Structure 1
Amino acid sequence: MTYYIVKIVITTVLIVAIAEISKRSSFAGAILASIPIISVLAMTWLYVESKDVTKVAELSTSVFWLVIPSLALFLSLPVLLKQGVNFYLSLSISIMLTVACYWFMISVLNHYEIDL
């Protein structure tokens, strides 16, 4: 149980730190947010718990393929906000667009028999 609490605390602290740093410098926050900290932590936790490098490699490969459609959020959100669309509506539309891009990517990967 202590291990799970440590995992939650470390992950939470990183997310809060990025948000707080972003208040002072969007550039510094962007650098920290763009580093795949959560992915690295997930791979570390997976390895520590399973000692299975195959699972870690599979997770890493899946993350690689799914980073591509996630970029839709970072492209659409600023465009919508600059057009004057309400923040929550912009975020919702961007998330829906990103989900559609995930679906499309998974469909393309399945077509080419690439398993995630």
Structure 2
Amino acid sequence: MYYFFKIALTALLVVAVSEISKRSSLVGGALASLPLVSFLGMIWLYIDTGNTDKVSELSRNIFWLVLPSLSFFVLLPILLKKGVGFSASFGISTVVMVGFYLGMIFCLKKIGIQ
């Protein structure tokens, strides 16, 4: 029952962002920009383990990995405004973002962050 609750709540948040965005992209964007998945992930991790060190480590890693994800949100609207189709823009932006993630993970390992 606990896992069903976690899945249902998480899915509800995704659907809420989608539905709210139909009415107001600003409000939808504000809701989507909140780190709700991160909040829920930390809460579920703490409830499941009771380990604040794991929550702290997750929080630190989220910080570093948010940075490469921003490339997606910069590139996608640029491509769309240039007339590139949605699917291609989404795919290109995703590939670039994954490249930035891999680059960030490589850099973090070089400075000793695992």
Common fold, TM-score beyond 0.5? yes
1:90 matched to 2:89? The reply is yes
> Post-superposition shift, 1:47?
0.4
Percent identity, aligned pairs only, is 49
Equivalent residue, structure 2, for 1:35: 34
Equivalent residue, structure 1, for 2:73: 74
The one-letter amino acid of 1:38's match is V
> Post-superposition shift, 1:113?
1.1
1:25-63 CA distance string (max 9 Å, x none): 000001100110000001000000100101111111110
The one-letter amino acid of 2:37's match is I
- Aligned partners of 2:111 and 2:63: how far apart in 1? 16
> Post-superposition shift, 1:111?
1.1
Equivalent residue, structure 1, for 2:58: 59
Q: RMSD between aligned alpha carbons?
A: 0.5
> Post-superposition shift, 1:114?
1.5
List alignment gaps of at least 5 residues for structure 2.
none
Equivalent residue, structure 2, for 1:100: 99
Paired positions, count: 114
Q: Which runs of 4+ in 1 moved over 2 A?
A: none
